[in-house]
Chains A and B, each alone.
Chain A
Amino acid sequence: SQTIHQWPATLVQPVGSPLSLECTVEGTSNPNLYWYRQAAGRGLQLLFYSVGIGQISSEVPQNLSASRPQDRQFILSSKKLLLSDSGFYLCAWSGGGEVGGYTFGSGTRLTVV
């Protein structure tokens, strides 16, 4: 069966520090991968998605970037964190097409101090 792993679960980082969040999927090949952010009191916002290795689409301009170095690995990064980057970050995958329901990871709570 397919599983999605996301780590770390919690992270506290100072302003200006770098960020790297990792997400991996098991039990499937060529998944569509997504990064969402949920800010306090707000809905989930799609940040990036990827349909293949090295293919990244950005949905909103921001301080973050994403990379997909391997088929089932999706990384969210920042060179210098801002206070406004605080939030709950969720990775998800889908198989695409008519069976393209999303499965989410357990999330990373990022607090920038």
Chain B
Amino acid sequence: KQEVTQIPAALSVPEGENLVLNCSFTDSAIYNLQWFRQDPGKGLTSLLLIQSSQREQTSGRLNASLDKSSGRSTLYIAASQPGDSATYLCAPGDYGGATNKLIFGTGTLLAVQP
């Protein structure tokens, strides 16, 4: 059974800092891995999707890497801004034969101080 761990559970940084969020998963036989952000009381917004054959994906100030064999992914946020404050969720996709099922960690709560 896939288990996902995100470290740290919470992080507070001053505006402008570069930061790294870590995600580890126990079953490396994944289909893909997706990073989301969740604002309080809201749904999930997709940030980056990395297919199992890829090593990284970039979107603006965000860069996500995937090391499938070691069961790790990182999300790098450059020049953080107060608007980046949210919970960040990592979700590897387990291919259950019929569909891709995302398994979530408990997230990293990020606070960027102005």
Contacts and interface: CB of A to CB of B under 8 A. Distances in A.
Contacts of A107: 42-43
A92 B42 CA distance: 13
Q: Could you say which interface size class chain B belongs to?
A: 20 to 34
B89 A44 contact: yes
Interface string A59-76: 100000000000000000
Contact of A100 (B100, B106, B107): B100
Contact of A102 (B34, B51, B98, B105): B34
Interface in A84-105: 88, 90, 92, 94, 96-98, 100-105
A46 B1 CA distance: 13
A108 to B, nearest CB: 10
A72 to B, nearest CB: 16
A24 interface: no
Interface residues of A, number: 29
A34 B34 CA distance: 15
Contacts of B49: 101
Contacts of B32: 98, 100-101
Given A42-B106, A43-B104, A98-B51, A104 B99 contact: no
A86 B2 CA distance: 25
Given A101-B32, A102-B34, A104-B43, A51 B98 contact: yes
A77 interface: no
Contacts of A51: 98-99
Interface of B: 4, 31-32, 34, 36, 41-46, 49, 51, 89, 91, 93, 98-107
CB-based closest 10 A-B pairs:
A101-B49, A104-B44, A44-B104, A43-B106, A100-B100, A106-B43, A32-B99, A104-B43, A107-B43, A43-B104
